[in-house]
Structure 1
Amino acid sequence: MRYCQLVLGPAGSGKSTYCAAMQRHAEVSNRVISVVNLDPAAEAFSYQPLLDVRDLIQLDDVMQDEDMDFGPNGGLVFCMEYLLEPDGLDWLKEQLGDNEDDCLLFDCPGQIELYTHMDVMKRLVEQLQAWDFRVCATFVLDAGYMVDAARFLSGSLAALATMIPHINILTKMDLLNRAARRQLEMFLEPEIHELLASEHNVSRFNKKYHKLTHALGKVLDDFSLVRYIPLNINDEESLTDVLIQTDFALQYGEDLDVKGKDFEYPDPEDRE
């Protein structure tokens, strides 16, 4: 059995930083976590990838092809579709190797189109499962985005749009001041109706669209999607908490063999 996380979230939400931090934390915890870059538009990241999709196809090359004439979004869709073609899947499977008990992080593109009205990521998940991977999706959202009920609602709906059951993580907690952290606590395990009610009292826009926001809040409650795990990449305890949550979602370690170790006992004659 092999294990992997699909790291999802809007562009700039901290996906690559999350992958790099978890890779470094794993080394401290005597574990091996490898990272796979699946973003053909990535320019730079601070981790050493196990494999890089840009070795197969790059967004710049697609956009510069005069025959296709793609923009950034269209080019990205083409790249991901190309990866899921038979030749692309053969390349991916070969690059991933066949070592068991691996834990991989797939650093995914941030464009929401890949998750809302396309089945690209769904097909990728199904293919990974066919290769005996146990898959968990990790949706990361910038903590600075959660400053009021309206933005909280927007960010949560973006998470729901991925259409994949997942763990929600608030990144960049290390960039918030104390006041912002205290304000954020009310959004970690919120009462949706109370949040929206407080927003209606101060916003004329939300008063006008009270029924709409109430219905959206009910969707979040029904899907139990409003629980977030805060992450401070400079705090080892915070990283450990996130790793425990993802391990639980993946049921990591339940099928691992117990690793024994032969101890060498000193010769009694050497003590004399």
Structure 2
Amino acid sequence: MGFAQLVIGPAGSGKSTYCSGLYQHCETVGRRIHMVNLDPAAEHFSYPVSTDIRELISLDDVMEELGMGPNGGLIYCMEHLEDNLDDWLDEQLENYFDDDYLVFDCPGQIELFTHVPVLRNFVEYLKRKNFTVCAVYLLDSQFVSDVTKYISGCMASLSAMIQLELPHINILSKMDLVSNKKDVEDYLNPEAQVLLSQLNRQMAPRFHKLNKALAELVDDYNMVNFIPLDLRKESSMCCQTSTTASSTGKMLM
């Protein structure tokens, strides 16, 4: 049985930087992981890539040969990957042992983990191959600067959680770039009434019922919580890997 971590999140949320930090952390503590690039538009990596989707298909080739734009081309690439799971990816997975840990650095196109079924089908494929899979969703901590952005981030995360149906860890990335940490910390465990009050102050009265429903959704089900991650601090990465280990049963500390 293998282990897999799907690193997802919006473009620019720091997924590749997180993957690099995770790889360096595992090297430091003597744990071996394998980095897999699933982004057909990626160009540079700060970690060694053991399997690369660009060996199968690249966004540049699709745009040049089929005349597609970047968004449609990326969806095409991922659907091509889906069509070749039992051929190309099967062959790639033969290079790993049963207890290996794979980290999949995914594209940042939000459709892929909210409503387009490609990643969901990819997850089902990994499960059929006896992988224990978890999802790590990254959100730029600088994005969570007020209540409306926080709610937006929560809804996107919840959408991915429902779509993929995986053990799910939410991370606030780039904490080292946040000048006022309290602005972010206020949203790590917010109270529904505080959220509702802030939303109502910023939005027109006609949205108050919607605000109440959203605040209660975040609070009542307690499904969306974020772990702050500062890659400069080893203790921060240890906290994150410990949380991930509880989802997969594989320690990376």
TM-score (norm 2): 0.92
Paired residue secondary structure (1:209): helix
Aligned to 1:135: 133
Which residue pairs with 1:31 in the alignment? 31
Match of 2:206 in 1: 208
| CA–CA distance in structure 1, aligned partners of residues 37 and 221 of structure 2 | 29
Q: Where does 1:152-171 land on structure 2 (aligned, <5 Å)?
A: 152-162=150-160, 163-164=163-164, 165=166, 166-171=168-173
Structure ID, larger Rg:
1
Report 1:100-249 matches (<5 A): 100-162=98-160, 163-164=163-164, 165=166, 166-177=168-179, 180-201=180-201, 203=202, 205-249=203-247
Q: Following TM superposition, by how much is the alpha carbon of 1:226 offset from its aligned partner in structure 2, in angstroms?
A: 2.7
Return the letter of the residue paired with 1:55: E
Code of the residue aligned with 1:212 in structure 2: it is L
TM-score between the two structures when normalised by the length of structure 1: 0.86
The whole-number CA distance in structure 2 between the counterparts of 1:101 and 1:232 is 28
| Structure 1 residues 125 and 88, CA gap change in structure 2 (3 angstroms) | closer
Q: Residue in 1 aligned with 2:6?
A: 6
Q: CA deviation at 1:115?
A: 2.3
Query: Over residues 33-71 of structure 1, what are the superposed CA-to-partner deviations in whole Å (9 max), with x where a residue is unaligned?
Result: 221000001122211111111111000110111xx3321
Uncovered stretches (5+) of structure 1, i.e. residues with no partner: 254-272
For each residue in 1:226-247, what CA deviation from the matched residue of structure 2 results, as whole angstroms up to 9, or x when unmatched?
3110101110010000000001
In the alignment, structure 2 segments of 5+ residues that lack a partner are none
1:123-149, Cα deviation, whole Å (9 max, x unpaired):
000000111100000000001111111
Does structure 2 retain, via aligned residues, the 8 Å contact 1:156–1:225?
Answer: no
State the Cα RMSD in Å: 1.5
Q: 2:51 maps to which residue?
A: 51
| Partner Cα separation in structure 1 for residue 211 and residue 90 of structure 2 | 44
Aligned counterpart, 2:77: 79
How much does 1:184 deviate?
A: 1.3
CA contact (8 A) 1:22 1:33 kept: no
Change (3 A) 1:4 1:90: same
State how far apart, in whole Å, the 1-side matches of 2:30 and 2:114 are: 38
Evaluate the alpha carbon distance shift between residue 222 and residue 77 of structure 1 in structure 2; reply closer, same or farther with a 3 A threshold. Answer: farther
- Segments ≥4 residues shifted beyond 6 Å: none
The residue type paired with residue 192 of structure 2 is I
Name the CA distance, whole Å, in 2 between partners of 1:206 and 1:134.
Answer: 45
Say which is worse superposed, 53-62 or 184-193, in terms of deviation: 184-193
- What percent identity do the matched residue pairs reach? 46
Alpha-carbon deviations, 1:193-227, whole Å to 9, x = none? 312213323x2x24331111221223333442331
Kept after mapping to 2: 8 A contact 1:190/1:226: no
Find the residue that maps to 1:161 and give its secondary structure. Answer: helix
CA distance in 2 between counterparts of 1:47 and 1:222 reads: 40
